[in-house]
Amino acid sequence: MATYTVQNVTEAGVGASFVAVGASDTFTPAASDYDKAFILEVKNAGGTQDSVVIDDPLTQGPAGATAFNPDVTVVVPITTGDVRIRLAPIRRYLQANGTVAVTHSFTTSVTANVFTY
């Protein structure tokens, strides 16, 4: 399990740093940033695609639905995959403990981090 540190992008720029992902990762947005947009960037240098799932625990299913899953799933391609995923507003993805849960189907040579602005 990895914990991403949210990096704030300003006019002065930010030196992006990435961490090796785990199968189940998290990050914690500041409460003052709940209405902001966040970017999850995932880089895949491995030989298998990575299906990234950002859990959405708050969106309610339509009445009478037999199947409903509002989670966001994005495939990061093999070898040179570099994908940026916009998460806005971030409050949609907050777990009860104030974190955002991110899972990866492939973790070898995959790195990620989160940015806000």
Q: What pLDDT, on a 0 to 100 scale, did the predictor assign at position 74?
A: 96
Q: What pLDDT, on a 0 to 100 scale, did the predictor assign at position 107?
A: 97
Structural domains of the chain in order of their starting residue, each with its CATH number? 3-116 (2.60.120)
Q: What pLDDT, on a 0 to 100 scale, did the predictor assign at position 65?
A: 67
In sequence order, which residues have a C-beta less than 8 Å from that of residue 45 and are 6 or more positions away? 79, 80, 109, 110, 111
Q: What pLDDT, on a 0 to 100 scale, did the predictor assign at position 59?
A: 83
Low-confidence stretches of the chain (pLDDT < 50) are none
Name the pTM for this structure.
0.90
Q: What pLDDT, on a 0 to 100 scale, did the predictor assign at position 69?
A: 77
In sequence order, which residues have a C-beta less than 8 Å from that of residue 7 and are 6 or more positions away? 14, 16, 17, 113, 114, 115, 116
| Alpha carbon distances (Å) from 45 to 25, 62, 72 | 18, 39, 22
Q: What pLDDT, on a 0 to 100 scale, did the predictor assign at position 33?
A: 94
